[in-house]
């Protein structure tokens, strides 16, 4: 029965909970048991409070039995990336720096989940402070890909992607600063969506790069992602970047196909560095759209070649500023031994608390913002960022969505790129532009390599066009069965 429950599409799970065929306690117990049985080999979770999760589930069942109003996700377990604040739960960002920190408040996305009736089943592993593309930069140890535990699952939302792919949770929240939802979704064979910047409140999201970060959903299918996105979206006066726009009823519109669909295929996303097997699989996915009547149009995003450099100047600059607060004074790690000065305490505490990749990015950011260099690097990067957004604005005058690969390759082996940061950074080459431009993007399963590793198709749309993006993604999903495949350990 447990494998039957964990294999249910979200819509079926919700329907059976609403009808009383299933109870939330039964569903939550099933997923908690799966975590206990299988997560030791995967490292997807960093905190699970079984008693609290079962109490949430019992409360959901009690509300339903009493005939009280139930939300969109009533009784449904959801895993939470360890970068979102939840009252009474540790929030470490997978870092020694925040060991023991327990937030006294909920992030807005968490508040909305609770209002929707969701059961918070656990907190997921990640690259430290969301800085990484592989899931290897965690103080708790690496997360492993359920399709091949010797390979990376992608990052930084590694644990959330693995939790959903391994059927340890039906849904999960992640954050995406340069591809951190879409990239692991692609490498783990599930759906991951980065909303438009401002669509989902960032209040209570521990910041990496404030102008790039965005919270979004993981699910096994497009409909599940649509439902979770609907639940967490909306204006929040506590986030000055939150946009006051109506939240579309994604759960109602996602199955409506689009006629006269125009899909842009950027030449720059099929250039040198793209694995041949990934390219062939993505082009086969585009052929499915063509068979459905869509027009495929070659387009250019000419400033794509500057995206990696632009991103790693802006993101690291903002990170160096955001992470300056971790000084061993107010909260977080403080070194036990240091010299007699305040500066030596700062140095010792930050030196012990942060991992190598976080230190690397802080140093890059400090340099890019330093006197004499800020105009040459950071300001110039902001100007190029505007040009990248201009490329997308021009493209969306001609096409409805843009399609291409998510990553240059399928999942690589653990440790393969840890000594080569530049090679690691290039893993995000197709995803970072969406964050720089603030547009929505989604990764959907579109095939597998000859060795059985998942490959994703990326779709991008104009700002606040998530409804269109989801409908286009669902069109492909209805015609294929890639999203139905599960890792062998889950069957």
Known catalytic residues? 81, 156, 180
- Going 437 to 409 to 155 to 425, the CA torsion angle's sign is negative
């Amino acid at each position: 029965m447990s494998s039957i429950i964990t294999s249910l599409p979200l819509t079926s799970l919700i329907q059976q909970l609403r009808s009383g065929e299933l109870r939330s306690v039964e569903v939550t117990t099933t997923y908690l048991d799966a975590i206990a049985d299988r997560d030791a080999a995967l490292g997807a979770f960093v905190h699970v409070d079984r008693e609290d999760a079962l109490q949430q589930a019992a409360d959901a069942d009690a509300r339903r039995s009493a005939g009280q109003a139930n939300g969109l996700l009533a009784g449904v377990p959801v895993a939470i990336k360890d970068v979102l604040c939840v009252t009474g739960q540790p929030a470490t960002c997978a870092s020694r720096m925040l060991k023991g920190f327990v937030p006294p408040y909920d992030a807005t996305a968490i508040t909305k989940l609770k209002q929707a009736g969701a059961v918070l089943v656990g907190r997921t592993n990640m690259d430290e402070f969301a800085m990484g593309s592989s899931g290897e930069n965690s103080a708790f140890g690496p997360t492993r890909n359920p399709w091949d535990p010797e390979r990376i699952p992608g990052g930084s939302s590694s644990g959330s992607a693995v939790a959903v792919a391994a059927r340890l949770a039906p849904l999960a929240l992640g954050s995406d600063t340069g591809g951190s939802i879409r990239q692991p979704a692609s490498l783990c064979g599930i759906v991951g969506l980065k909303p438009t910047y401002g669509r989902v409140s960032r209040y209570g999201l521990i910041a990496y790069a404030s102008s790039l970060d965005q919270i979004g959903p993981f699910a096994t299918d497009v409909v599940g992602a649509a439902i979770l996105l609907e639940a967490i979206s909306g204006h929040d006066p506590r986030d000055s970047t939150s946009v006051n726009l109506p939240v579309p009823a994604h759960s109602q519109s996602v199955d409506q196909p689009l006629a006269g669909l125009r899909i842009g295929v950027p030449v720059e996303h099929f250039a040198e560095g793209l694995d041949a097997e990934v390219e062939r699989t993505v082009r086969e996915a585009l052929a499915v759209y063509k068979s459905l009547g869509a027009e495929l149009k070659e387009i250019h995003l000419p400033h794509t070649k500057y995206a990696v450099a632009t991103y790693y100047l802006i993101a690291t600059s903002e990170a160096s500023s955001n992470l300056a607060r971790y000084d061993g004074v107010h909260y977080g790690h403080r070194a036990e031994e240091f010299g007699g000065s305040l500066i030596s305490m700062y140095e010792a505490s930050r030196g012990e608390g942060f991992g190598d990749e976080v230190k690397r990015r802080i140093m890059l950011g400090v340099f890019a913002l330093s006197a004499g260099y800020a105009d040459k690097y950071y300001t110039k990067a902001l100007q190029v960022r505007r040009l990248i957004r201009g490329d997308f604005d021009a493209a969306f005058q001609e096409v409805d969505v843009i399609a291409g690969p998510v990553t240059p390759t399928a999942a690589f082996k653990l440790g393969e790129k840890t000594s080569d940061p530049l090679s690691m950074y290039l893993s995000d080459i197709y995803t970072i532009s969406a964050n720089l431009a603030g547009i929505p993007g989604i990764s959907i399963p579109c095939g597998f390599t000859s060795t059985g590793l998942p490959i994703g198709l990326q779709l991008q749309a104009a700002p606040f066009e998530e409804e269109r993006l989801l409908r286009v993604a669902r069109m492909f999903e209805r015609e294929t069965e890639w999203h139905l495949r599960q890792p062998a350990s889950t069957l």
